[in-house]
């Protein structure tokens, strides 16, 4: 019985670790996408000095 509990808790710990890793990766991807979007929006803005 104690093996079942330890197996279950180790499985839960592994799953929790994978979830945390996935969350960190997704957050990093989201930051990268936002940064790329922001950079492309800045590049798309008209250059006012060139118009003058």
pLDDT tens profile 3-40: 678 888 999 999 999 999 999 999 999 999 999 888 88
Domain ranges of the chain: 1-32
pTM, 2 dp: 0.60
The tokens of 45 are what? Answer: 């803005």
Residue 38 pLDDT: 85
Residue 25 pLDDT: 98
């Amino acid at each position: 019985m104690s093996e079942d509990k330890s197996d279950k808790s180790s499985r839960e710990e592994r799953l929790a670790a994978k979830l945390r890793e996935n969350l960190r990766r997704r957050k990093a991807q989201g930051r990268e996408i936002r940064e790329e979007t922001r950079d492309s929006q800045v590049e798309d803005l008209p250059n006012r000095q060139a118009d003058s």
